Amino acid sequence: MGDRSAFFYVLYRVCYGSSTPTPFQRSLLTIRPAILHDYCRHKVRGYDYPAIIPSPEDCVRGTYVRGLTDGDIFRLDIFEGPEYERRKVKIRVLDVEGNEDGEGNVEGEEVEMETYVWVGGENALEEGEWDFGEFRREKMHRWIGRREEYDGESVKRRHAWIKANSL
């Protein structure tokens, strides 16, 4: 079992190559809902996925994952690409998970861990906050569906756009 931890959204597809890991693979990780304060998330222009950037007074709900290996972090680094930077942050684990708007959240322990922060330029981000509910309803199947449904095309397009625009 690894001793690394991270705060993010996409997990099993990147770390294990499947959105349905084996029970053994699931047993290696501890996954809990969490809040990252003083950040907000925006949709990356032209893509399904978000980017987080520092933003006082805002917060991002995500997932706190313990038990990641150095190999898992390596795969996440590759997946996120050069427009994200892995940084140490402090999150609050949720003892009680409220609704999508955060109403009813009960924050617990503060934990230092790593997350991927957007460094690809704010001009590549859309105005307003990325909507996880919309993503879950309309786009998530592209990211966690069966292997044959996911070919990484959105990620390839993202890296090509970044290279073409010298971000």
Q: Locate the DSSP E strands across the chain.
A: 4-8, 30-43, 50-68, 84-96, 106-118
Please write the tens of the pLDDT for every residue from 49-94: 889 999 999 998 888 989 888 988 888 888 888 999 999 999 999 9
Residue with token string 């993010």: 8
How many other CB atoms are there within 10 angstroms of residue 118's CB atom? 21
Q: Which of 44, 53, 41, 10 is nearest to 161 (CA)?
A: 44
CA 139 from centroid of its chain's CA atoms: 15
Give pTM, 2 decimals: 0.76
* 80 carries an active-site annotation: yes
Choice among 26-35, 64-73, 138-147 with the minimum mean pLDDT: 138-147
Catalytic residue among 57, 80, 129, 148: 80
